[in-house]
Structure 1
């Protein structure tokens, strides 16, 4: 299947297309990313200096509550994720329904055609930079900062920006799944920051969704690898990308599974720790606010 084949596919029937979506030009953003994606290494370096330097700075100082700012931050991210999900999910559903699994994994139909999905994919990639700000709340509120949090933020940023330069076809899966989980997760934390008390089981469901996301992410990469190795059809994803993505998703799965076990299945001691952290407020591993931090799944 060549480029002309996947440029001729039909598009989802969007009820409305905004002007800024209609004016979106894929090639311009791809050229920009190809010229600038390596800057994210500098951003990650600055991020590491700020968060660990910030922890040292806050060690002898009282914590900040920041509940109002945190409520606004989570509300904005929840709204962004909900909109992103509603604008990208139709393309994935349309492709699966009309063209099947192979097309959804290997053929980037949004190239130069689906400007709606393309625009929100671009927004998704860019959003990984400001999302580093999640960690600021952990540092200023003097909450525990564990490896999974900053490791996740850094690797998601690096992988997302790199993948955009290749127009990786399987990215449609990753983008839709991430938007979906974030829609629920940030809404939950916005309510918590506003002092509402959603049922605790919701956080467990969110962590289960995160684990499911990791499993699906690994499966997508395995399928892409099989398509490439068969040599029977074109698959628009590089072997390097598959290796990086598979390692990333598998590492997330191991770390989130470990967290899930400690938070929910580790016995009385884990249960007490989970309840204590849950009572303290905002977290980002979506489970029981077990470590009082913000963790997102990609």
Structure 2
């Protein structure tokens, strides 16, 4: 296999043909035959999505209630399954990210950014299949919460809200064919490669110094996401309803899916900022207390300088 780097082949080799062989071996169907079809494609109906959410909440909160009366699992019992879960999600997230880049970059290189995020033709069959597989991975990621329950960890609202609603978000964007979807998806996959690698390593006993930076990356991700989706939403609504306003033309996707995506990603940004503020302010206060100094002593000294 010859290695040649180009806009059409950013990794030196074509990854999608390899993926097609794996997909056909796993499903018995050629990748080119896939189409996201409600009522036919698994998990392609709203009933399946909301039932999955109900089951998710029933399992995690029901399990949390039942485990209050049972002894805790020994750490060794969950260690290996947790490591396997995280290393597989690291690999799958990385593979999907590479496949998305291989599809999106040539489009961007040839037609520019606006085409890549707004033109209906940018939503092609190959990209739709990758969107769908990313959507299915969101069901797999619900196991993150199951592990927390089994470990008798506290369930934060941000955690279960984010996991359940991201699954819903991916479903709505698939149904609405919002072409800009690749922006939040590729950024999310990038963060998840690092995040699941972090959890795999720490489960092995490694001390990783960059946990705080993961949260910073997540916040940065949502800022970029919102810039992209609000731009697409604005130019669509301006072009459609108020053409006298400056705009760059229409943008692919249904109004409902675009509005839901904007609202949900906005809520994520505020929730993650609040999480960052609470978590790391507490850590600073605890560190200062251990040193026997007031929590704000460092800030005061900086101001005095």
3-state SS in 1 of match to 2:252: coil
Counterpart of 1:12 in structure 2 is: 8
**CA 1:122–1:110: 2 relative to 1, 3 Å:** farther
Q: How many Å apart are 1:70 and its aligned residue?
A: 0.5
Structure with bigger gyration radius? 2
Counterpart of 1:219 in structure 2 is: 227
**CA 1:216–1:100: 2 relative to 1, 3 Å:** same
Could you tell me the TM-score, scaled by structure 2's length? 0.77
Aligned with 2:114 (options 102, 105, 119): 102
Counterpart of 1:149 in structure 2 is: 159
What is the CA deviation profile of residues 62-87 of structure 1, one whole-angstrom value per residue up to 9, with x for unaligned ones? 22221111111100100101111111
Counterpart of 2:179 in structure 1 is: 169
Q: How many Å apart are 1:133 and its aligned residue?
A: 1.1
What is the CA deviation profile of residues 146-205 of structure 1, one whole-angstrom value per residue up to 9, with x for unaligned ones? 11111111111111112112221011112111111101110111011111222x2x1111
Q: How many Å apart are 1:207 and its aligned residue?
A: 0.9
Q: How many Å apart are 1:109 and its aligned residue?
A: 4.2
RMSD of aligned C-alpha atoms? 2.4
Counterpart of 1:250 in structure 2 is: 266
Q: How many Å apart are 1:258 and its aligned residue?
A: 1.0
Structure 2 segments unaligned to the other structure (5+ residues): 1-6, 25-29, 240-247, 290-305
Query: 8 Å contact 1:81–1:180 — kept in the other structure?
Result: yes
Counterpart of 2:102 in structure 1 is: 90
Query: 8 Å contact 1:110–1:118 — kept in the other structure?
Result: no
Number of aligned pairs? 259
More off after superposition, 46-55 vs 86-95? 86-95
What is the CA deviation profile of residues 272-293 of structure 1, one whole-angstrom value per residue up to 9, with x for unaligned ones? 89xxxxxxxxxxxxxxxxxxxx
Whether 1:72 and 2:84 are equivalent positions in the alignment is yes
Which stretches of structure 1, 4 residues or more, deviate above 6 A after TM superposition?
A: none
Higher relative contact order (CA 8 A, sep 6+): 1
Could you tell me the TM-score, scaled by structure 1's length? 0.79
Structure 1 segments unaligned to the other structure (5+ residues): 1-10, 274-298
3-state SS in 2 of match to 1:221: helix
1:120-269 alignment, distance < 5 Å:
120-198=130-208, 200=209, 202-231=210-239, 233-266=249-282, 268-269=284-285
Mapped partners of 1:272, 1:38: distance in 2: 51
